[in-house]
Structures are given as structure tokens and as C-alpha cells.
Amino acid sequence: MQATELKMQFEEQNLVAVILSYADANHYLAGGVDTKGNYFLLENKKGRTETFNSMREAEITLAELGAVNAIFEMETAYDEMIGSSKNERCKMMVHLTH
């Protein structure tokens, strides 16, 4: 989803901001999630998913798009090894400051 559309979705409260991470990965993804759990990730002008080198970069970008809070969600290989379901991923709400 392009930045302008994502900003509009935040303004209309159709999506909640989200930052996604995979443990031991060197990048983060940012975007929005709807009430059904569908993710809409931020894309660059070429339509490719935008990656961020730090959680802070993702936070700043989401804040610039009007998000005040974001769900930070991390998945690890350990979740799969111990049999955790997808709904049991590590999640927490973070306050975005610019």
C-alpha cells in the first residue's frame, strides 16, 4: 500500500499501524492491519514492500503518516518449535513519538 493511501486509512481508522519483525532478521516491515487480521504493508513507488533497518525508522515513518500507536509484532522460529499458534506471537502496543 502506498504511503498516501495508508495515511488515509489511518485517518479513517480502518487500519491500526503495525510493525512486523522476525527474530534475528536485520529489517522491519511497517503498515497497517484491519480487524480481520489482514496486513497492508507500506510499499515504495515501484510497488515493492518497504523495509526498514531499525524499529525506530519504522516508528518515525508511521508517525509521519499520522499513526500515534502501533502494534509491534515479532515472530520467532522458537514459536514454531514449541508449537505456538499464529495467534500467540509476541505482540505489544508501542506509542509512536516523532
Mean pLDDT for each consecutive 10-residue tract of the chain (98 residues)?
96 96 89 96 95 95 96 78 60 82
Global pTM? 0.84
The whole-angstrom separation of Cα 7 and Cα 79 is 32
Q: Which residues of 9-25 are buried (b: 16+ CB within 10 A; e: fewer)?
A: bbeeeebbbbbbbeeee
Kindly give, in sequence order, each residue whose CB lies less than 8 Å from that of residue 79, ignoring residues fewer than 6 positions away.
Answer: 88, 89
The answer to whether 88 and 72 have CB atoms below 8 angstroms apart is no
What is the tally of structural domains in the chain? 1
Q: Which domain holds residue 43?
A: 3-95
Instruction: Report CA-CA distances (Å) from 35 to 24, 25, 28, 45, 51.
Output: 28, 27, 22, 26, 23
